[in-house]
Amino acid sequence: MTSMSPMTYDEALDYLYSFVDYSLQRSYRYSPATFDLARMRELLQKLSNPERSYKVIHVAGTKGKGSVSALCASALRAAGYRTGFYTSPHLVDYAERIQVDGHDIPHERLAELVEEIQPAVETVPRLTTFEITTALAFLHFAREKVDAAVVEVGLGGRLDATNVVRPLVSVITSLSLDHTHLLGHTLAEIAREKAGIIKPGVPVVIAPQSTEALRVLQSIAEERQSPLVQVGGDWHFAPRTHSLDGQSLFIWSAAEQERVNSYLDDGKELEWVPPRYEIPLLGYHQVINAAVGYAALQAAQDRGLPVTEEAIREGFRSVEWPARFQVLHRFPFVVVDSAHNRDSASRLRTALDDYFPSRKVILIFGASVDKDIDGILDELIPRISRVVVTQADHPRASEAEDLAERIRTRGCPVEIRLPVADALRRALELAGEEDVVLSAGSMFVSAAVLAAWPEAWEGDASRRVQQRIVPSLPLEGSGDEWSGLS
């Protein structure tokens, strides 16, 4: 690159990756010495604090934070707000991390911003890739004059680079054991790190939590005089219908519980019915995420960001969030999921039982070395017929042989195929028309499956001739009855 030539997208990525990228490292310490918010604040000050020019919904959590963020951003767009969305990691393209109104930042724009902030970056020692990317997102949102931004925490909360924002509302989704070597080995320790995003006087919306985690969140919210909004307490929800095309749910406030009871007891249509919402995201855990997103939007509305019921319905109905129990094809069924800890694997198994109760499942599996691999396998293997082990092109990827041996000890047939594209082709070869091909265990593997899917399916001419496309696959128990309301 010369001084006369503008920076290219590839050069911008090379520059970003020239800094410390902890997401690519197998081990490091999550501590104030490693993650120092002071340097993030210094960088943003040199950029005139772009994060202060729009309203923010800040979302942390172990599982569901991406889905909740996507639901909130989609509803804000439907409400007519110019909306920023910052998320990580990306699936295929780095630019996915920074979005405005559902569109990734253009490659040339990212390169321009990287080149622009270089002088400021060079004056702040020890910045990381994630910190610089976060600053780029905040700057891009300001330049694009967004009205509001949904900002997803990268890791933890207390020391995360995003924790410099002054949000309208903070959100903490479901907490479970993940990144234990960094965030703590108990739910209480993890909750304390996630609760670091709770700001004095700022409402915090929390998903249903274990008693251990809930006590910590309640204590910190009380200490900081932050109004606490509990989904499952202040807001209630229940699933209504579900199929492979999506699902619907009811959401109502605690103040409306008596009306809900009357609705249930009467047994017939009344003038009032609980509000119903539709989402294309599959699995009961997404019903919970939708309720959390709804509560967050209501809290934001109370703080000066109005969103109508119609906008929420439209935003929820049209949300896009790939690699979360995403059905790519039917007959055979090809499902891509991002489950990568024991809790998410348990939820995935529940979703398999809900949507594919009698179908054989062939698992494409890879995992990162820092994950609870045995816990994931203990949850999934009893539901799996055969595993094709693979390995993502990522420094933290576990060795395929080690994964295969762990699976063999659990009595499940297993074979190894590298790279991921070959694993996908092999799984499709093994699958009958009624079977399920599932990718899980690593978001990096699932991203590679998404990238390889068009070519893998296009290359299977005989299967393409035989494929059956159906408009909907109703599920047993998907009628209008309510479940789990008590």
Q: Is the pLDDT of residue 486 over 70?
A: no
Residue-wise pLDDT for 396-433, tens only, equals 889 999 999 999 999 999 999 999 999 999 999 999 99
Note the pLDDT of residue 480. Answer: 39
Residue-wise pLDDT for 445-476, tens only, equals 999 999 999 998 776 655 544 444 444 444 43
**Nearest-5° angle of CA 48, CA 166, CA 66?**
110
- Is 184 in contact with 213 (CB distance < 8 Å)? no
Note the pLDDT of residue 33. Answer: 52
Residue-wise pLDDT for 214-241, tens only, equals 999 999 999 999 999 999 999 999 999 9
Cα–chain center distance at 163: 18
413 lies in which domain range? 326-457
Nearest to 282 by CA among 243, 231, 331: 243
The answer to whether position 15 is within a domain reads yes
Amino acid at 241: T
- Pair (309, 343) in one structural domain: no
Note the pLDDT of residue 261. Answer: 85
Eight-state DSSP code of residue 418: S
Residue 437's domain is classified under what CATH number? 3.90.190.20
303's tokens: 């703080």
The answer to whether position 482 is within a domain reads no
Query: In sequence order, what are the beta bridge partners of 228?
Result: 204
- Side-chain-side CA neighbours of residue 37 (13 Å): 11
Residue 108's domain is classified under what CATH number? 3.40.1190.10
Q: Is the pLDDT of residue 279 over 80?
A: yes
d(CA 107, CA 342): 36
Q: Is the pLDDT of residue 351 over 50?
A: yes
- Pair (309, 336) in one structural domain: no
Query: In sequence order, what are the beta bridge partners of 276?
Result: 250
Eight-state DSSP code of residue 224: T
Note the pLDDT of residue 185. Answer: 67
pTM of the complete model? 0.90
Average of per-residue pLDDT across 346-370 = 95
- Pair (306, 424) in one structural domain: no
- Pair (340, 365) in one structural domain: yes
Q: Which long-range contacts (CB under 8 A, 24 or more apart) does 114-118 make?
A: 114/7, 114/12, 114/15, 114/16, 115/6, 115/7, 115/12, 117/47, 118/15
257's tokens: 């519980």
- Pair (331, 282) in one structural domain: no
pLDDT confidence band for 481 (50 / 70 / 90): very low
Domain count, the chain: 2
- Pair (304, 400) in one structural domain: no
Q: Is the pLDDT of residue 180 over 60?
A: no
The answer to whether position 251 is within a domain reads no
d(CA 47, CA 151): 18
Burial of 154 (0-12, 13-18, 19+ CB in 10 A): buried
d(CA 241, CA 248): 5
